[in-house]
A and B are shown apart, each in its own frame.
Chain A
């Protein structure tokens, strides 16, 4: 691996560090009673309201339709994902230091697999959250479930819910970009030798 390729994969690892500080996803909700909107930011290790007390407001609203309350302490992913990202950073550093091309390819493949698993997990969390409702909930609308959209906007009763990537996702994309660029450099460097 060339120095540039090694630097790129190291960069791909290090650029994941901001994910501890910058949310990668945002769910926003507006309703007649919430003209300014409420919502939450999702980070690899945290869920926070757009404003200080938004999570409490969301939980208060959701109890009417029997959704579970969102408490970050009760979401295991927020404890597991940081370790996975740490592992990916360490792995990227190892790839950069050893210059092993096979490991590089493994890193890229692992990144794709983990990303897909993450999306699947997020969808499943949303499904469970929107379908697994308390049977004693005061508001029951036949046939209605409240799964937030995976990505995009959806009308759920009086609430218009939008789910979109947030700035942290840019670092994920950059990381993936740097890693594939690294692989690309290796590939084009290898070609003339053939």
Chain B
């Protein structure tokens, strides 16, 4: 014992401990400073009144929203509510929007929105719609990019955590969904959790898109083994008929997954031939099974959202559909699977792997043709790793996750644990550059970097913690994003800015694809809401039993009517508000004292309905919440609420003194 405590031993142990601590905590790199060429401000400066080059769409993650940004300035333009109620705009509170948040589990005011994906034509984002998935109660939403509003939400049955979504095929034929958490298929099946392998299954969802209206319909689902399906990417070019999914938990664990799902050296990348699968379905190889899910959409003819309840779904079993699905072994618990612009390379981010494995699509096809199978799982052939792999990028850092491409022969992979981005060559599969991320990067995004035609100019890193990057704002801080210049040989950090929610993944598109189509008003003449009024003269109040409908006009700077009497306790009051303005960005709002919902904001030409049930007699002021005009402060009114048995007549007026 005394021998161990010699001075020499103590020195050695201390040195080893200090070295290990340095290794574990990471040396201060100073790389950001070294790469600062002093022109970052110039590159991100968009002068007042000038326009950004790109629209960027950042998912809100746990905010359930989607935010719209400009690149390269990093300015935020808008926050679009999608899966979460939004008291700012009234989304999810006003009657017209409420059906959008209906599910087979009832009205859900929140979700976790992860992966936005722009609609594509010939493999390039076309700026018509952007789709985004809800992770928790599995859904996909469509946002119309003429108005930047959510117009449709489709629920997915047989799915637990729709994470591998919402990615579109190269001509927006399909959007894909997949279950992150395998669950039993039969609706509401009550079984022991440890019957996992027996009763649980995964599901791929193939959602068809109407090419003219963008409307989604769940075409069919594919039943797959009970793994966790993490991310997906449709192929492009030669691989355009395929969709690739990553799996983890091929161990089929149902408890303590951090250990139990990390046991195997390799999990799989699943390759699905969606075109062939759709043909099998058309040929009648799928079975119709019971399922309950909601399809919610704005009915153009009614000007309000409606909910449609579906009770069946077509299910295709790979056993009945040979040649549609293959597993490619991939190290280890892969997260992202990304397809390069040529459609040939499939890059998996093995979050526990020490290399970035790159599969070749053409080698995969060869392997299938030559039946280089090493196994079969539930009728799904498992391909030989050596037969499909074409490269392993060495020294990629710790925890590679997601890869995008610049179109110039390079790939950029986000690396979570070592908090960096590595740039590597698609020719040599060698790392050529690396740069720090602040801190712990998840997805990265190059405008068009997931399409056949990337704009290889900028890259955005979406990171998970801010720590010391900005003025501190308490123990919980907003997530950051970084903008990099990738036009040169070396990546350059240009901008580091906080975002809102959790910017999980993002998309970006040239402003030319969106700006010319952005609508300025809702045409009153096209307003089909049954409760809309088209002229001030149509403003009125009507009683139908104990329901009172107020058809109220909003126009600078008054409400019509603005004095309403004869409402009684027990009445349900609907304020049908129409903004009669037809001028860009002239917005009116409405709020009334004691209202237990939210305000509503009305874009020009829009009609929205707020339901109000007064609980006390008295005088209730209401007012315009949007600073609409010079006399905005005068835009107000009163509602008088009388006792249930009162004989106050229902009257309304505006402007009579």
Contacts and interface: CB of A to CB of B under 8 A. Distances in A.
Given A53-B521, A60-B555, A139 B630 contact: yes
B581 interface: yes
B556 A60 contact: yes
A64 B631 contact: yes
A169 to B, nearest CB: 29
A138 B582 contact: no
Interface in B614-632: 630-631
A139 B629 CA distance: 13
Nearest to B582: A53
Interface in A38-76: 52-53, 56-57, 60, 64
Contacts of B555: 60
Contacts of B630: 64, 139
A53 B605 CA distance: 11
B631 A60 contact: no
Contacts of B371: none
A141 to B, nearest CB: 13
B583 interface: yes
Contacts of A60: 555-556, 581, 583
> Which size bracket describes the interface of B in this complex?
under 10
Interface string B281-297: 00000000000000000
A137 to B, nearest CB: 11
A50 to B, nearest CB: 13
Contacts of A57: 582-583
Nearest to B655: A136
Nearest to A55: B582
A56 B581 CA distance: 8
A172 to B, nearest CB: 32
Contacts of A139: 630
A30 to B, nearest CB: 14
A104 to B, nearest CB: 49
Given A53-B582, A53-B583, A56-B582, A138 B556 contact: no
Interface string B553-568: 0011000000000000
Q: Which residue, B521, B556, B583, has most C-beta atoms of chain A within 10 A? A: B583
A66 B629 CA distance: 16
A138 B581 CA distance: 19
Contacts of A52: 582
Nearest to A52: B582
A139 B631 CA distance: 10
A174 to B, nearest CB: 36
Contacts of B582: 52-53, 56-57
B538 to A, nearest CB: 16
Interface string B594-607: 00000000000000
Nearest to A138: B631
A139 to B, nearest CB: 7
A64 B521 CA distance: 22
Q: Which residue, A52, A56, A60, A139, has most C-beta atoms of chain B within 10 A? A: A60
A60 B556 CA distance: 7
A173 to B, nearest CB: 35
A56 B634 CA distance: 21
Nearest to B524: A53
Nearest to B583: A57
B519 to A, nearest CB: 13
A53 B524 CA distance: 10
B523 to A, nearest CB: 8
Nearest to A54: B583
Contacts of B583: 53, 56-57, 60
Interface in A136-194: 138-139
A100 B581 CA distance: 56
A48 to B, nearest CB: 14
Interface of B: 521, 555-556, 581-583, 630-631, 634
18 contacts: A52-B582, A53-B521, A53-B582, A53-B583, A56-B581, A56-B582, A56-B583, A57-B582, A57-B583, A60-B555, A60-B556, A60-B581, A60-B583, A64-B630, A64-B631, A138-B631, A138-B634, A139-B630
Q: Please list the 8 inter-chain residue pairs (A to B) with the smallest Cβ-Cβ separation, ordered nearest first.
A: A53-B582, A57-B583, A60-B556, A56-B582, A138-B631, A53-B583, A64-B630, A60-B555
Given A53-B521, A64-B630, 16 more contacts: A52-B582, A53-B582, A53-B583, A56-B581, A56-B582, A56-B583, A57-B582, A57-B583, A60-B555, A60-B556, A60-B581, A60-B583, A64-B631, A138-B631, A138-B634, A139-B630
